Structure 1
Amino acid sequence: MHKVSLTTQITIGMLVGAIAGMLFGKNVSGVTVVGDIFLRLIQMAVVLLIFGAVIEALGSLNPRDLGRLGAKTGLWFLMTTLLAALVGLGTGLLFKPGLSVHLDQLRKTPVHLNTPTNISQTILNFFPTNIFDALAKGNVIQVIIFAILFGLVLSQANKDGKFSQVLTLVKQTNQLTVKLVMLIMKAAPLGIAALIAGVVADNGSQVFLPLLTFLLIYGLATAVFLIALFCVISWVAKVPLIGLVHGFTQMIMVAFTTTSSAVALPVEMSDAQSKLGVSKPISQLVLPLGMALNSNGLAMYLSLVCVMLTQLYGIRVTPIALVQIVLLSVLSCLGTVVVPGGGLVALTIIVPTLGLPLSSIALFAGIDWFSGMFRTVTNVVGDTTTAIALAAGEDELDRAVYHSDKVSVKH
């Protein structure tokens, strides 16, 4: 018997919830408590998940890899993720997907963004005074800052294997936390059905129109980002643009159809070496690390969603709020990439942190699989272009594979 995937189950749950909301109206509004419980259960584990994943990713690295090459990798990851978040923000502000439909019930709900009064206060709030307080309050930015520092220290201290037990404990805790999140995600179809039923009961079927607009704008933003990235890497690595795009064709198809960075990783590593000329040591360091820590597509998705939600709720966004949306979009990616339903999990971090209603996440759950197509392609291309740039800088890039006669025979 063919097993129905979680994505299909969530889609069915969204349809059932939508139909129930339209048929029974206000009579089903009470079921939203089931969806609220589901969202709280995800929130319960997600801060611990990010905390452990960042420590494990950095703590597992060889200290030699954390030197010059590690710093360059981290810088490229940061630049591409920041660019992706800015593209998401820019397309959201330009096309205003949240204004395409007026959802009266949403606009009646008074919502205010949680934003500091100035830039210096914003920067100061990144740094924790007490890590346990940051964990208890779910302050994701402070937790990530601590986890990065702790992971770097663990990597250095464990070069002789003296702290291998600590690293093992972190890895095992992460494995259990991922299993916990996966267990909670099994309830996603029911939780999403309950939330959607409540939203449709309050607003009617018009709630789905902005989601189609969102997908179109997200697809456009993805195309803009990829074109920009290919042009930059062609110039930085001094390789022909046509040969570069050709080398990415297969991994883009795999990423788009599977919506999984983990599934695409073997193809990504093989093509990076055979079709894009990246040396094996560079690809083995950058690509697995990128899958765990770098998520251009998710950063773009989160910033676009946040802008759309501010428009749906009729919130006026200040420049400081825009900065906060971009930074949160970049930092919320850490540690959530490896989790099934990573986009949904990441939204449970950033939406309440900004002060937006948690129930609004349900709007995007039903189209998460379609969003995941664009997210995965952007993630895979972002990781591999970073590997190409680093290989070029380290003189470990075979540019001969970019010539048309060689490209055509390599599969």
Structure 2
Amino acid sequence: MTASPTSPSDEPTRRFRFNPKVFAVAIVASLVLGGVLGWVARTTGAEWLVTTLDTIGSTFTSLLTFTVLPLIFTAIVVGITSLRNVGGGRTAARLGGKTALWFATTSLIAVTIGIVVGSVFQPGQGLNIQPTQGNVDEVGQKSSGSWLDLINGLVPSNLIQAFSEGETLQVVFVALLVGAAAYSLGDKVEPFIEFNRSVFEIIQRVLGWIIRLAPIGTLGLIGNAVATYGNEFFAPLLSLTAATYVGSLLVLFAVYPTLLWFVARVSPRQFFGKAWTALQFAFVSRSSGATLPLARQTAVNLGVDRSYASFAVPLATTTKMDGCAAVYPAIGSIFVANLFGIPLGPVQYLTIVAVAVFGAIATAGVTGWFTMLTLTMASLGFPAEVVATGIAIAYAVDPILDMMRTTTNVGGQIAVPVIVARTEGMLDDDTLDAHTGPPLLNADDTRTPTPA
């Protein structure tokens, strides 16, 4: 998965105890049923059915919309302040810093690939959907403007007004300032940090409840879209799926093996020979958290010092998500921009990169696909209703995307500790060469990983 929603960084859909496989089937079924109902409404001219589908879809979008701004604010504040947690002695600080640096480096590469693939595939192009609210023309002007235009619209004259009017970019700016101030004040503001962390968890819980309605929301959104635009609406979803898979596969099978070969002197055969079981389990379970025991033991089998693996892999499980927090936010933002006719320029692409790198070094577990895609589009200045509508539409194919995103996440969660261990002289070549089978769990890892 994505980051699975079983931890703070995990997506809200799996934070709660219901069967994710049943949920995925329900999403796909609602996609099909929505398409059928939309086709019936379009061919028969049944206005009542169109109105019903539109009401269902817009209600689900509105439920998502009201969570966007508080989610953005608290996620940024908690993410920045949590950077203080890396440390604990010179060796630990050096390892933590180098691990975070490699997280950011590989995320930079991954998000660049996402932008390139998204620019080639142009997912969402060909349609021009209008959200239920908001001024898309205004955000389009912001997106195509200069750096000066961006700065002028960045600082709010009234904090409450920024929230009440849905000025997402201004909320991002304020959150960065508040987070930086809280970081600098340290323990003095611990109650404030805990308050934001609690609010973030509450929002995640509310999102989990809302997302349980995703099958119903998907039915309404897809049905209304097909009734309005016809069968051509499925082409953008297909292009989103194809772009996500191509981008993720490039990171998994090109970027990681290249870095492992040239930096860690680990061959692709060695890496995939030992990591394949964990990658397969990640694809099926769609949960980085559920794959953690296998991923940690895989790193050990690749020669990583056990104590470092016990630190780095769990950290990566909630932070290192190149599929969810780099490739997908880039492609997803391009998808939503194309759907709503919003132009993206160099300023916007640099913003996408900056958000992805921030997500890679924020150790608060805020890097799941839902949060990172929301943060990315908010940083681009998309209105909250555009963000919510775009995410709701993308949810129609999320189970399919989630499998590949999660597999890429886990690949990076294993690869980076191997790279850092080699640069620190903590990689055992005898262990690396000794075993090429699946990651057999040791006595301290006897629990069988199950989907979150």
Question: Which TM class, normalised by the smaller chain length?
Answer: 0.7 to 0.9
Question: Cα–Cα, structure 1 residues 234 and 151, in superposed 2: closer, same or farther, change >3 Å?
Answer: farther
CA contact (8 A) 1:24 1:201 kept: yes
Q: Which residue does the alignment assign to 1:295?
A: 321
Q: Distance in 2 between matches of 1:400 and 1:152?
A: 44
Question: Cα–Cα, structure 1 residues 57 and 315, in superposed 2: closer, same or farther, change >3 Å?
Answer: closer
Q: Which residue does the alignment assign to 2:239?
A: 213
Q: Deviations over 1:38-77 (max 9, x none)?
A: 2213315422551464257435444437732222122111
Q: Distance in 2 between matches of 1:204 and 1:82?
A: 38
Q: Which residue does the alignment assign to 1:19?
A: 36
Q: Pairwise mapping of residues 214-293 of structure 1 onto structure 2 (< 5 A)?
A: 214-226=240-252, 227-273=254-300, 275-293=301-319
Q: Which residue does the alignment assign to 1:36?
A: 61
Give the TM-score taking structure 1 as reference length.
Answer: 0.81
How far apart are 1:262 and its partner, in Å?
0.9
| Identity value in percent | 23
Question: Cα–Cα, structure 1 residues 144 and 254, in superposed 2: closer, same or farther, change >3 Å?
Answer: farther
Q: Which residue does the alignment assign to 1:97?
A: 123
Q: CA RMSD in A?
A: 3.7
Give secondary structure in 2 for the equivalent of 1:367.
helix
How far apart are 1:203 and its partner, in Å?
1.0
Report the residue type matching 2:436 in the other structure. V
Q: Distance in 2 between matches of 1:345 and 1:354?
A: 14
Q: Pairwise mapping of residues 329-344 of structure 1 onto structure 2 (< 5 A)?
A: 329-331=356-358, 342-344=368-370
Q: Distance in 1 between matches of 2:156 and 2:307?
A: 36
Q: Deviations over 1:68-99 (max 9, x none)?
A: 22221221111111111110111121233344
Q: Distance in 1 between matches of 2:202 and 2:401?
A: 27
Q: Distance in 2 between matches of 1:46 and 1:71?
A: 27
Report the residue type matching 1:369 in the other structure. P
Q: Deviations over 1:97-147 (max 9, x none)?
A: 344xx336569x756163385458868999999998987754336525753
CA contact (8 A) 2:79 2:366 kept: no
- Of 241-250 and 364-373, deviating more is 241-250
How far apart are 1:265 and its partner, in Å?
1.1
Q: Which residue does the alignment assign to 2:101?
A: 75
Q: Which residue does the alignment assign to 1:401?
A: 431
Q: Distance in 2 between matches of 1:389 and 1:257?
A: 26
Give secondary structure in 1 for the equivalent of 2:143.
coil
Q: Distance in 2 between matches of 1:351 and 1:235?
A: 35
Of 114, 135, 140, which aligns to 1:88? 114
Question: Cα–Cα, structure 1 residues 145 and 295, in superposed 2: closer, same or farther, change >3 Å?
Answer: farther
How far apart are 1:250 and its partner, in Å?
1.4
Q: Does 1:203 align with 2:220?
A: no
Q: Which residue does the alignment assign to 1:178?
A: 204
Count how many residue pairs are aligned between Structure 1 and Structure 2: 397
Give secondary structure in 1 for the equivalent of 2:344.
coil
Question: Cα–Cα, structure 1 residues 190 and 237, in superposed 2: closer, same or farther, change >3 Å?
Answer: same
CA contact (8 A) 1:256 1:374 kept: yes
Report the residue type matching 2:412 in the other structure. G
Report the residue type matching 1:393 in the other structure. T
Structure 2 regions of 5+ residues with no counterpart? 1-17, 441-452
How far apart are 1:362 and its partner, in Å?
2.8
- Of 16-25 and 145-154, deviating more is 145-154
Q: Which residue does the alignment assign to 2:26?
A: 9
Q: Which residue does the alignment assign to 2:143?
A: 115
Question: Cα–Cα, structure 1 residues 210 and 284, in superposed 2: closer, same or farther, change >3 Å?
Answer: same
CA contact (8 A) 2:24 2:399 kept: yes
- Of 6-15 and 283-292, deviating more is 6-15
Q: Distance in 1 between matches of 2:235 and 2:275?
A: 33
- Of 18-27 and 114-123, deviating more is 114-123
Report the residue type matching 1:114 in the other structure. K
Question: Cα–Cα, structure 1 residues 80 and 141, in superposed 2: closer, same or farther, change >3 Å?
Answer: farther
Q: Distance in 2 between matches of 1:363 and 1:167?
A: 33
Question: Cα–Cα, structure 1 residues 276 and 81, in superposed 2: closer, same or farther, change >3 Å?
Answer: same
Q: Distance in 1 between matches of 2:274 and 2:418?
A: 11
Question: Cα–Cα, structure 1 residues 233 and 182, in superposed 2: closer, same or farther, change >3 Å?
Answer: same
Give secondary structure in 1 for the equivalent of 2:242.
helix
Question: Cα–Cα, structure 1 residues 345 and 153, in superposed 2: closer, same or farther, change >3 Å?
Answer: same
Q: Deviations over 1:145-199 (max 9, x none)?
A: 7536745764xx5xxxx98877766655544343232223223333333332332
CA contact (8 A) 2:140 2:341 kept: no
Give secondary structure in 2 for the equivalent of 1:303.
helix
CA contact (8 A) 1:126 1:141 kept: yes
Question: Cα–Cα, structure 1 residues 123 and 240, in superposed 2: closer, same or farther, change >3 Å?
Answer: farther
Give the TM-score taking structure 2 as reference length.
Answer: 0.74
